[in-house]
Each structure stands twice: as structure tokens, then as C-alpha cells.
Structure 1
Amino acid sequence: MTQAPTPRRTAVDRFLGIVEYAGNLLPHPATLFFLLTLAVVVASAIAAQFDLSVAHPKTGELVTPVNLLSVDGLQRIMASLVTNFTGFAPLGTVLVALIGIGVAEHSGLIGACLRIVVLNAPRFLLTPIVVFAGVMSNMASEIGYVLLVPLAGLLYVAAGRHPILGIAAAFAGVSGGYSANLLLGTIDPLLSGLSQEAARIVDPTYSVNAAANLFFMQASTPLITLLGWFVTEKIVARRFPDGDYGRGDEKIEGLSAAEKRGLAYAGIATVALTVLVLLATVPANGALRLAGETDTLKSLAPFLNGIVALIFVAGALVGIAYGVGAGTIKSDADVVNGMSKSMGTLASYLVLVFFAAQFVALFNWTQLGLIFAVEGAETLKAIGLPKIPLLLCFILLTAMVNLAMGSASAKWALMAPVFIPMFMLLGYSPEVTQTAYRIGDSVTNIISPMMSYFALVIAFLQRYEPKAGIGTVVATMVPYSIVFLIGWAALFSVWILMGWPLGLDAPLSYPAVPSAAG
């Protein structure tokens, strides 16, 4: 039997092979944080031995490294192992938010909403609606990957278009537009919690709320939708022409009478909840406002502090309303099962958080974060790179790191304790740094083999193109990645130059601090 010739490897395939090989050399993120924690302990001893020190940027007091490779250090590590984990800021916020979202997902509400959006899309608006639905799906964690991406392929077949084109458009919205949305999702309290932990290395009282990037996210939603539409129709569609790609088993079920009734119930619950929130926030004596506070933004502190609780209540209440109407929730046991199911998906996350929490806590104890931040800030000041180019370089750095480390939370847990304090000492707020990070993290998701759902997308493609592999996905998605990076960076630059707030109670600058050298 004649052996089939080996396909010639292109430059893209070779590059992807290097990226995949390098990424595979990295240990599991939990193991990585464990190793980094050990490295921090050793580094603290070395720094203490060399007597490294800087002047605190706010108080002027001398900051020296704390040696954790000592009897006192060992006792502190052992005594705080549990509280480091339970007190880790992002942990509780994510768990609470996901419990509520779990009810909405388990009841079928989120799936029904996605289906009704894409099924009612006119053919000429099919692509922007699919991209938009992908962006919005991120408010419910990763449901867009497992529901919308394959659904888009079927939808494009029904419309006489290439299914891979639909999969690409949906994937671009879900993954490439991960940091755009009109509403808050589970990723927002997670990242803001990590940012707050990092900011407190410099300022122990600093607070970063979950809506810190909301305005920029909302403005990014139409931008990503339009850019995704343009790339799909003007670039990617050239490789995947229209035609009859049906195999006889492609069928998208319309909404049943019970599902329509469920959506009506959910709509009523949404309106009622919205009215209650408005009554609690708009009047000066509202329940979610500070009495006697004249500054509008400051008076809304109770509302801002309760964003996570609001996500929980909205997800649970609207999800229950849908389930009652659709018949998917018949008792309180069904509600609890939905909550439990969402918790079941977090097993690996909890393990990761345990080790990440130890790393962050020990890194903060050693004072190395502040020392590195002061020295790094002084170096950047000496270089004299202007604000916009500096932040754009940080976006590019994040995008490159994302090729080898796909987890958004793991990367930020690693990067935030270094870059947020450093940029704070340069006068940039944690909210600005977090926004720049989210842009870089999003735009290369769709070409990163290390992204957790990358293999699943390959499987969806192979349904229609059996020979599809990593190279197929990357070749298809690279135009989105490039265009999203350029467009998003441009929006971010204009936003910073105009001085617009990134979100609720989210300043662009951090109060000026004196030079550590002076």
C-alpha cells in the first residue's frame, strides 16, 4: 500500500508548532503558582541578604524585604495557609456570582435567549448578530463556547453559507471579544478582586469594584461587533464561499410554547427587578445610596459594593421565573441543583485559586512587589516613554503571554502584583492597567492553542472539515486577532486621551507620588 505523502508544513504551521511546544512545556497553572511561591520564599531570603531597600512612595519610610526563609517566616506561612485561601478577594465574589448565573443556565434561560437571537436574524444581519451574541454570552461564563459556536455553524448551513464561517464569527465574538459586554459577568469581579489585591501593595485602602471597566466594555461591544462583521464578510468569507453544505441532520429547533412562556415570565421578572434597582438608586434617599452624601458617585457606594450581590439576585430571580414558566423548574430542589451544578464546574478553579492565593499573599508579605514596583517605575521614568505608547506596549506584552498561558485569571494573578503597583507609581490607576490587560488577553485568545476551549473549536470545525487542525483555526482567526488588536488599541488610546471614565468609580489616574529616588 502506497503511503500518502506528508503534507508540506507552512511557516504558520511551524510557528504554531513552536508555540504549542513551548506552551506544553509549562506546568499546570496550579503547579506553576506552587513553584512561583517557592521561588518567592527563596527570593525573599536573597533580597534580605543583599539588604535591598527603597523609600515608600507615600510615607517615605524605608521598605526592606521580609525574609520568609526563616523560623518566623515558616510560622507565618503555616498559620496563614487557610486564611490566605478563604480571604482571597476574587474567590467569594466569583462563587456568589456563579451561583446565581448557574440558576439561569440550568433553567434553560441563557440557551433560549441565544437561540431566539440567532434564529430571528435576517440573513444580511446574520453575521453581526452572531458576533454580538458571542460577546454577550460572556456574561454567563463559557456557555458561548459550548452552545453558540456549534449553533452558529448549523445556522449558517441553514442560510446557505459555509458553516466554518459561522463558527469563526461566533468564536471571534465569544473569545476575541471576551472583554466587551453591555452587562457585567463572572469575569469582572474575578479580575477586579485580583487588581484590588495588587493595588493594596501600594495603597492598603484602595478598592477596585466589579464595574470598574463597565463603560469601556459597553463602548467596546459595538466596536467588536462591527469589526467582527467586517473581518467575516470581507476577509474570511473569501476562503469559505456560500453553497449547500447540509448533510441532512442539521436542524435548529425553534422555541416551544413552554420556552416562549418562560421568556415572558423572565421578561416580567427583569422589568420588576429593574424598577426596584432604580427605586433604590435614583432617589436621593434610595436604599442603595448613602444618606446625606452630595456627590452622586460617592452616594452610590452601597450600590457599587453590591454589584456581585446584584448579579447573583438577577441570575437567580430571572432564571427561576423562566424555569417556572418553561416548566424546567418545578421545585426548590431544581433551583438548588442548578446552583450545585455551577459549583461543580469550579473544582479545578478552586485548586488553582488555593495556590494563586498563597503566591499573592507571600509575594505581598515579602515587600518584593513594592520594591520591584518602585525600581521599575523609576526605570520607566528614566526611559521617558509616554503614557499611550507605554500602555500599548503592555497590551502587546499581555497578548504575547496569552499565547503560552491561556487562563485570564491565572495570568492576571501573576502579572497584577507587579504591573499594577508599578503603573500606580507612574500615576496610572489600577483600573487603567486592568483595562489594558483585558484587551491584550482577549485579542489573542482565538489564536492561542493554550486557550482551554481551543481543542473544542477544532472539534466543531472537523464536523465540516475532517482535516482541520490547529493551523486551520489559527489561519482562520488571525485576521480577527489583528483587526481587533488595532481597533481596540485605537479606542483605548482615544479613551485615555479624552479622559473618559472607564467605569463606575474608576479614575484614570492615581494621585501623584514623589519620586522614590528623591
Structure 2
Amino acid sequence: MAQTPPVTPRQPGFLGWIEYNGNRLPDPVFIFFWLILFVVAISVVAALAGLSAVHPTQFEVDGSPLIIEAASLLSADNIQRLLVEMPTTFTHFHPLGYVLLVMLGAGVAERSGLFAAVMSSAVKAAPAALLTPVVALLAMVGNLAADAAYVVLIPLAGVVFAAAGRHPIAGIAAGFAGVSGGFSANLIPGQLDALLFGITEAAVVTLDTSWVMNIAGNWYFIAAMTFIYLPVIWYVTDKVIEPRLAPLSEENKGSAALAQRESDVLSDSEHQGMRRAGLASLGVILVWALLCFAPGTPLINEDAGAASMQPFYQSLVAAFFILFLASGWAYGSATGSVSSHRDVVRMMSEAMADLSYYLVLAFAAAHFVAMFNWSNLGLIFAINGAAVIQATSLPMPILMALIILLTGMINLLIGSASAKWALLAPVLVPMLMLLGISPEMATAAYRVGDGATNIITPLMPYFPLILAFCHRWQKDFGLGSLAATMIPYSIWMMVTGLILTMLWIWLGLPLGPGAVSGYELL
């Protein structure tokens, strides 16, 4: 007789409730499956009830208003569309190509050791007085390295803090807050921008088919987030968290003494690799500059007026792919991690293997988004929802703050950033466009809410890993200890992110090159 697996006891308190009930939710792939069934049922009811809305910008041939009517997903046409176009629905899912392309290059940079070397070198060279802000800044920039930031930088921060005579768990907390709480903050766009804006693009086309995805559409905003979150993490770590941490035991004090040996400087080959990577990166930047300013200007459409920079913005996905590939290859050639082109191919293949779960999730999300659009429910809800919000005369900064808080609460139950945005974007993006908020601003607001609560939900995939890092230094450091340690970061990052978003909208600041916070339907 098969033995029944042991049941993990439910933890007390609100976080225990979140962990218990969140673990009972299906995998995000099956959440999309059940949502598809729900949308099918709603579409049938809505079609029978004659649910409709007047399109705000499109008209019939005779000039009369275009009426958008709910379409049943069980109609013969939509069933045929689902089955015939299934391969196209999957492969044409907007984020898919963007993410795969960027990760091909990032996989080489990560597996060659470049990302780890850059983070390690910067942390170890930091003066003791600036250790916390250096860790926080590198953690936020380290999002470009995806998983490497979690598995390399966070435990390294604990080691370096211990070597400097500080509490290692304070270093782990600062690194975790930067990598996960500041998940959307960065100095340059990366694969997350490609992922989120791809989903945004799929939501925008229901209202505006001329809108073009710009991976740099949140560049200024995420850079501002970086410099806003930096002093927050610094203050919370040094003034709130570290003073309340329990002193290390005698055994762990011995481990801390050994930490100095783990924080040795990089080898000569690693330093040479970083120099080569820097030269390769500079070369890619120069090539892109030539493509913009050399005769012929392939990346500037001089005849397009205000849209002249669109080719450049659209090329940035390819730019990051080549940048990561070239710098990773250059680094690996010096350190020996890349001995031939075959190693580069292997690293690319391994990066694609790491995305296998994302491909399954993308298949489910692609069909949910597509079928939601076929039913016209998203557009109808957005038009009617915008009318209701306009009637309340709710100030737009307040509305965006409520959306951020909603995102943060949903994040406690659904950890995947792409899964949540695929659920929310089909309604939120068109609705906010009708209210005068650009798709770029909607995406930026989502990022604030998503990041701030990442560090307090046990459903975040790396939460158990961070707990294991803490156990190295304090054996009795449990789930409640980690949650209590991270809650101050979460609160302060949510508050400052809300203020930043509200001020950004109020001042009407651009979110990135060619990306404004306001929007007007033409």
C-alpha cells in the first residue's frame, strides 16, 4: 500500500493563510485553462444577452457608430478559428519571440560566468561604508541576469557582509529586496521589458492596431525606480533589519570568519575576460550608433516625422541579444568557459531548455488572450469600465494607485509576472487607454505592484532558496523570520513606488524614449 505523503502543517497568521491557500491553487498553466473555460461560458451568456458597446474611434462604412457585440466562443466560426489557427495563435504570441531572442544572448552571458563575475567583483570591491547600497544597486541591475542574480548575488551578499563584520542575513535581505522587490527597477531595459511589453502589445491591438512595441518604453521610469529604491533598501537594511537580527551563534561566528576566504578577488583570467567583455559591449554600442547616424541611417526613418525613431526602438531587442552574446563569448574566451563555437551553441541550447516551462505557460496564455479578444469581452468591459470610472471623477493618479495595490494583492497568490500581466492586461490596458493613460504607463504601474510584494509571498519560486541561504547562518531562521524580515522592505517599496507613479502621471513625464504617460485615441 502506497504511503500517504506527510502534510506540511499550516503556519499561523496571515502569511500562513496566504501560503496554505496559495499552495492549493493550480499551476498557472491550468489557471489559464480554467479561465479559458470560464471565458467560453461568459461569452455564450454575453452573446445571448446581446452585450455590446460603441467603439470610441471606429465607424461603419456609412459613418454610423461601430457597435462591438459579444461573440460566443462556441460559435462555428470561433471553434474553427481555434482549431485551425492553434499553431499560429501560439507562435504569434507577441512576447514569445522577444523573450526567446533576448534569452539566447543572456544564456551565453550567464553560463560563461560573465554575470556572476561582474556582480562578484563589484560587491567585493565595495567600501564597507557603502556595502549595503552597492549590494542593492547590483541586485536591481542583476535582474538582467535573471536566475543568476538569485543564485549568485544573494548568497554572495551574505558572505561579503560576514567578511566585513556585519550580519550576513542583513546582506541576504538587502540582496533579496533588490533582486526580487526591485524586479522591475533597472538602469537599462532587458528581457522583462520584452516579456511585459509583448503582452501589452497583444492587449493594445483591440483598440489601436498602429501601436508598436518599444522595449525602451519604460526606460526612464525603471531607472527612476532604481534610484528611488536604492536609499529605501539602504535605510531599511541598516536602520531597521540589521539591528533587530539575533546575534550569530559561536558556530556561525566561525563560519563568518571563514567567509573572508570565500571573498577572494577574481583571477587574472576573469579580469581579462571582463576587459574583453567590456570591449565587445562597446563595439556593439558603436555599431548601433553607426546604424543610427551613418549615411543611410538604417535605424532612423527620416521620412516618418515623429515616428522616425521607431525602427531604432524596435531594434533594441536584437541589440540586447547581440550585446549579451558578444560580451559573454568574449568573457568565456578568456576564462576558458568558451573554447569554441560549440560551447556557445551549447549555452544557447541550455538557455532554451530553461525556458521550457515558459513555453508551456506561453501556449496557455496565448490562447487565453486570443480567445478573450475573439469574444470581444475585453473591449466591451474596457469601454464600459472606462465610462463608469469617468462618471466617478476619480483622479487618475488615485486610480493608478488602486491598480498598483490590486496587482500587489494578486501577486500574493500568483507569483509569475507574465501570468498576472496576461490576465490583467486585456482589460486594464484598453480601459486605461480610453481614460487617457498610455500602454507604457499601464505597464509601468503594473511593475510597481508586482515587484513590491514579490519578497513577502511564500509562493515566489525562490522564497525557499532564500530561506536555505539564511539557514547557513542561523539554523532556526524560519519562514516567519524571513517574512518578518522582508515586510518592511515591501511596505516602503510599495509606498515609494505609489508616490513615484502618482507624481509621474501628475507631471506628465515621459516614460522612455518616445513613450509618454498620456494617450489620445485618434
Q: TM-score, normalised by structure 2?
A: 0.93
Q: 1:310 aligns with which of 316, 319, 330?
A: 319
| Residue of structure 2 in register with 1:422 after alignment | 431
Q: Distance in 2 between matches of 1:77 and 1:288?
A: 37
Between 374-383 and 240-249, report the one with greater CA deviation: 240-249
Q: Kindly state the Cα deviation for residue 252 of structure 1 after the two structures are TM-superposed.
A: 2.5
Distance 1:172 1:478, change over 3 A: same
Q: Does 1:354 align with 2:363?
A: yes
| Residue of structure 1 in register with 2:119 after alignment | 114
3-state SS of the aligned residue for 1:290?
coil
CA contact (8 A) 2:508 2:518 kept: no
Between 34-43 and 349-358, report the one with greater CA deviation: 34-43
Q: Kindly state the Cα deviation for residue 448 of structure 1 after the two structures are TM-superposed.
A: 1.0
Q: Kindly state the Cα deviation for residue 87 of structure 1 after the two structures are TM-superposed.
A: 0.6
CA contact (8 A) 1:157 1:246 kept: no
Q: Does 1:171 align with 2:189?
A: no
Between 489-498 and 208-217, report the one with greater CA deviation: 489-498
CA contact (8 A) 2:508 2:516 kept: no
Q: Does 1:273 align with 2:272?
A: no
| Residue of structure 1 in register with 2:30 after alignment | 31
| Residue of structure 2 in register with 1:6 after alignment | none
Q: 1:237 aligns with which of 236, 242, 251?
A: 242
| Residue of structure 2 in register with 1:3 after alignment | none
3-state SS of the aligned residue for 1:449?
coil
Q: Does 1:209 align with 2:214?
A: yes
Q: Kindly state the Cα deviation for residue 510 of structure 1 after the two structures are TM-superposed.
A: 1.8
Tell me the amino acid that sits aligned with residue 128 of structure 1: P
1:76-130 deviation digits (Å, cap 9, x = unpaired): 2111111110110000110000000011111111110001100100000000000
Tell me the amino acid that sits aligned with residue 50 of structure 1: A
1:142-153 matched pairs, under 5 angstroms: 142-153=147-158
Between 279-288 and 213-222, report the one with greater CA deviation: 279-288
Q: 2:275 aligns with which of 241, 260, 264?
A: 264
1:407-418 matched pairs, under 5 angstroms: 407-418=416-427
Q: Kindly state the Cα deviation for residue 194 of structure 1 after the two structures are TM-superposed.
A: 0.3
| Residue of structure 2 in register with 1:4 after alignment | none
Q: Distance in 2 between matches of 1:303 and 1:103?
A: 24
Q: Distance in 1 between matches of 2:312 and 2:238?
A: 42
CA contact (8 A) 1:158 1:246 kept: no
Q: How many residues align?
A: 502
3-state SS of the aligned residue for 1:61?
strand
Q: Does 1:330 align with 2:339?
A: yes
Q: 1:86 aligns with which of 91, 108, 122?
A: 91
CA contact (8 A) 1:13 1:471 kept: no
Kindly report the root-mean-square deviation, in angstroms, between the aligned alpha carbons of the 2 structures.
Answer: 1.8
| Residue of structure 2 in register with 1:159 after alignment | 164
Q: Kindly state the Cα deviation for residue 71 of structure 1 after the two structures are TM-superposed.
A: 2.7
1:481-496 matched pairs, under 5 angstroms: 481-496=490-505
Q: Kindly state the Cα deviation for residue 234 of structure 1 after the two structures are TM-superposed.
A: 1.0
Q: Does 1:74 align with 2:98?
A: no
CA contact (8 A) 1:135 1:221 kept: yes
1:218-257 matched pairs, under 5 angstroms: 218-240=223-245, 245-247=253-255, 249-250=258-259, 251-257=262-268
Q: Kindly state the Cα deviation for residue 57 of structure 1 after the two structures are TM-superposed.
A: 1.3
- Any unmatched runs of 5+ in structure 2? 1-8, 59-64
Q: Kindly state the Cα deviation for residue 507 of structure 1 after the two structures are TM-superposed.
A: 2.0
Between 468-477 and 68-77, report the one with greater CA deviation: 68-77
Q: 1:288 aligns with which of 299, 307, 331?
A: 299
1:168-207 matched pairs, under 5 angstroms: 168-207=173-212
Q: Distance in 1 between matches of 2:208 and 2:15?
A: 41
Q: Kindly state the Cα deviation for residue 249 of structure 1 after the two structures are TM-superposed.
A: 4.7
CA contact (8 A) 2:204 2:429 kept: yes
Tell me the amino acid that sits aligned with residue 56 of structure 1: H
CA contact (8 A) 1:161 1:245 kept: no
CA contact (8 A) 2:284 2:322 kept: no
Tell me the amino acid that sits aligned with residue 46 of structure 1: V
Q: 2:132 aligns with which of 127, 131, 136?
A: 127
Q: Kindly state the Cα deviation for residue 495 of structure 1 after the two structures are TM-superposed.
A: 1.7
CA contact (8 A) 1:216 1:503 kept: yes
Q: Distance in 2 between matches of 1:351 and 1:454?
A: 23
CA contact (8 A) 1:160 1:242 kept: no
Q: TM-score, normalised by structure 1?
A: 0.94
3-state SS of the aligned residue for 2:30?
helix
CA contact (8 A) 1:289 1:299 kept: yes
- Any unmatched runs of 5+ in structure 1? 1-8, 514-518
